Amino acid sequence: MPNQKRRKDVRNIAIIAHVDHGKTTLVDALLKQTGAYHFKDGEATIMDSNPIEKERGITIFSKNASLKYKDIQINIVDTPGHADFGSEVERILRMVDGVLLLVDAFEGPMPQTKFVLRKSLELHLKPILVVNKIDRPQARPHEVVDLTFDLFCELNATDEQLDFPIVFASAKDGTATFDPADKPRDMKPLLETMIHRVLPPVADPAEPFQMLVTMLDYDSYIGRISIGRIVHGCVKVGETIALVKRNGDVKRGRVTKILKYQGLRRIEAESGEAGDILSIAGIDEVKVGETLAAAQNPVALKTIKIDEPTISMNFSHNTSPFAGKDGGRFLTSRHLRDRLQHEAMMNVGIKVEEVEGRESFKVSGRGELHLSILIETMRREGYEMEVSRPQVILKTMGDEVLEPVEEVFIEVDPGYQGAVIQALGNRQAELRSMQVSAIGTIRLEFLAASRALIGFRGEFLTMTRGTGVMYQNFYKYQKYKGALPHRQLGVMISQQEGPAVAYALWGLQDRGEIFIRPGEDLYEGMIIGASNKGNDLVVNAQREKKLTNIRAAGSDEAIQLIPVRDITLEFALEFIEDDELVEVTPKHIRLRKKDRNEHARRQANKRRLAA
């Protein structure tokens, strides 16, 4: 539109990339170059501020940063690379006018790159290609540019989007260049490209105020905080504005605080104008996707389409005999309800429903990783809970039942592809392509039902001796594929309460894999290992060796225990069946049967078979 006004002193940019391609490191380098942040000794990846992000080395929550270059304010948003956090990506891309597409100079474009790039191209954003890690041995930057161009074509990019500028960088060294043959010195080539190739935001300060709420934050002192980009007009502290709800209702509130970004810090400001990305406090009932507007002209902006949840789990308070003994501070279902409702309010990708007739909550999300991050966060906050096996969310259209299907991308060393194809074939997955990558690995692409992939990751890592790489993206809903194979192993269940004894575990380890160590406290119904036979075994892990007064040289065998498997949250969620639960506390993750009593389990099994 020819009459559109643009604000020349601002650029709003998102960084999109595959996991571990260095986007967080690149933001750090830009902040260093412009002096927007002063690093402490040994500090790295400051954008990954959440402890779980630092441990896993991935970005989970979108974060904003701001820097100044040549009197132009560049607002940068670091977006998640995992498909499970699609709701975060969707919202962030609505706030920006351009994207930095970061690709590894050795690995090239990868599956998660495809997921986020598709979203940005659909929103007609123009990308800048940054080929990172050009200092890596065997880097092939020019070949990676060609592969990325092919990916753009595959995603139906427009001619304008295909004419993307290319910058070669080493984020770790803090350098960028237009030609990898040159010796780069700093990040100026990238900064120049950002201010010249990303359009200034469309912004008319003379029009009535409008802002789409794309994220929420919460502060115990100032309440709910709305984060977004002002599309039109201006806003000041103390001003009365309107909140336009999704259903068209209009509510009014007063702006108590405005916060802008300076480097990584949020600083208070008196006002904001069109083109700014900022935070507004004072509007308490706001939700993601709703519009803040001028009180005299409450007109809503186009709302955000959020990807629907595909996986659900039941959360309930901890009912095991060890409840409250592991340092948990929040133990009741009321605590759980309040925390989950707060999460659903802040995280638009999570949906929470109460289960009728039970003190439990059905929590739906975009995938196993999405929900496991929520569980891990809650346990660190001091919550104790029990969670059920993940279940896919089915849809009914007419007479047909539909289920979510995912694209699965696998990279394995030569020799393992046969076992992977067979294992996924048994789970009714469809092989779409198989090719040899530039580094000699085999790349496989499948379509598989989401429920077929629950529990597959652990089996896949065992099958490939821990060397395989697997990614998955939601594809679409397809016709229900019928019954799928279940876990082949049974479990060993503790018969009684008490500490585990090394002698008893030594006698049990021939029957399967053990999950517990000697001296660990057990209770009736707790799962202590996997049984090689398909059926469940109730075992006595407290049995001690009988003492006699007869001694003979060599008659006592030395007790040698095989190292036990560490129970991680991901393994636990993948391993359990429908009649089992994962008990999560701040100190332990345990597996247990829903019915702890053996007689109750037998009765429940009879009722299930009769039905």
> In this structure, is residue 123 part of a structural domain?
yes
Same domain, 21 and 52: yes
In a domain, 248, yes or no: yes
pLDDT at 36: 59
Model confidence over 570-602: pLDDT tens digits? 888 888 888 899 999 998 999 999 888 888 888
- 294, 309, 344 - which closes a domain: 294
- pLDDT for 63: 60
93 in the same domain as 37? yes
Note whether 71 and 23 are same-domain residues.
Answer: yes
* 350 within domain boundaries: no
* Residue-wise pLDDT tens digits, 226-274: 888 888 889 999 999 999 888 888 888 899 999 888 777 778 889 888 8
Percent of residues, the chain, with pLDDT higher than 70: 88
Mark which of 457, 479, 501 sits at the end of a domain.
479
Q: Taking the CA of residue 510 as centre, how many other CA atoms within 13 Å lie in the half-sphere pointing to its CB?
A: 5
Q: For 303-324, what is each residue's pLDDT tens digit?
A: 776 667 888 999 999 999 998 8
Residue 451, helix vs strand vs coil: helix
Same domain, 214 and 193: no
Amino acid (one-letter) located at 20 = D
Q: How many domains does the chain have?
A: 4
Q: CATH code at 505?
A: 2.40.50.250
Gap between the Cα atoms of 277 and 215, Å rounded = 11
Span 106-134, average pLDDT: 80
Torsion of CA 434, 437, 442, 444, to 10 degrees: -40
Residue 432 belongs to domain with CATH number:
3.30.70.240
Give the C-alpha separation, 189 to 175, whole Å.
9
At 556, is the pLDDT very low, low, confident or very high (cuts 50, 70, 90)? Answer: low
> In terms of Cα–Cα distance, which of 344, 223, 232 is closest to 291?
232
The closest of 282, 288, 202, 284 to 236, measured between CA atoms, is 282
> In which band, very low, low, confident or very high, does the pLDDT at 53 lie, cut at 50, 70 and 90?
very low
The three-point CA angle 126-131-134 to 5° equals 165
Could you tell me if 584 and 569 are in contact, meaning their C-beta atoms sit under 8 angstroms apart? yes
This prediction's pTM? 0.73
Predicted local distance difference test score (pLDDT) of residue 315:
94
Q: Whole domain around residue 284: which residue ranges? A: 210-294
Same domain flag for 160 and 58: yes
Ramachandran quadrant class, 148 (left: phi over 0; alpha: psi -120 to 50; beta: rest): alpha
Residue 346 lies in a domain: no
Q: What is the CATH number of the domain that holds 117?
A: 3.40.50.300
Domain boundary among 294, 322, 348: 294
- Tell whether the model's pLDDT for residue 373 goes beyond 60: yes
**Which residues, including other chains, have CB under 8 Å from residue 7's CB and lie 6 or more apart?**
200, 201, 203, 273, 274, 275
Q: What is the mean pLDDT of residues 510-536?
A: 89
Euclidean distance between CA atoms 479 and 330, whole angstroms: 42
Contact of 581 with 388, CB cutoff 8 Å = yes
Q: Is the pLDDT of residue 49 over 70?
A: no
Percent of the chain predicted with pLDDT > 90: 13
> Looking at the predicted structure, is the pLDDT value of residue 472 above 80?
no
pLDDT tens sequence across 476-489: 888 888 777 666 78
Closest Cα partner for 99 from 157, 46, 58? 157
User: What pLDDT is stored for residue 362 in this prediction?
Assistant: 93
Asked, for residue 387, whether it belongs to a domain, the answer is no
**Is 302 within a domain?**
no
Determine, yes or no, domain membership for 408. Answer: yes
Q: What integer best gives the mean pLDDT of the chain? A: 82
Residues 176 and 32 in one domain: yes
Annotated binding site for GTP: 20-25, 132-135
Examine the domain organization and report whether 561 and 532 are in the same domain: yes
Task: Report yes or no on 385 lying in a domain.
Answer: no
- pLDDT over 80 (residue 1): no
What pLDDT score was predicted for residue 290? 84
**Binding-site annotation: residue ranges:** 20-25, 132-135
Report H helices in 427-546: 450-453, 456-463, 502-508
Angstrom distance (rounded) from CA 259 to CA 252: 20
Same domain, 149 and 66: yes
| 518 and 575 fall within a common domain | yes
Are 218 and 131 part of one and the same domain?
A: no
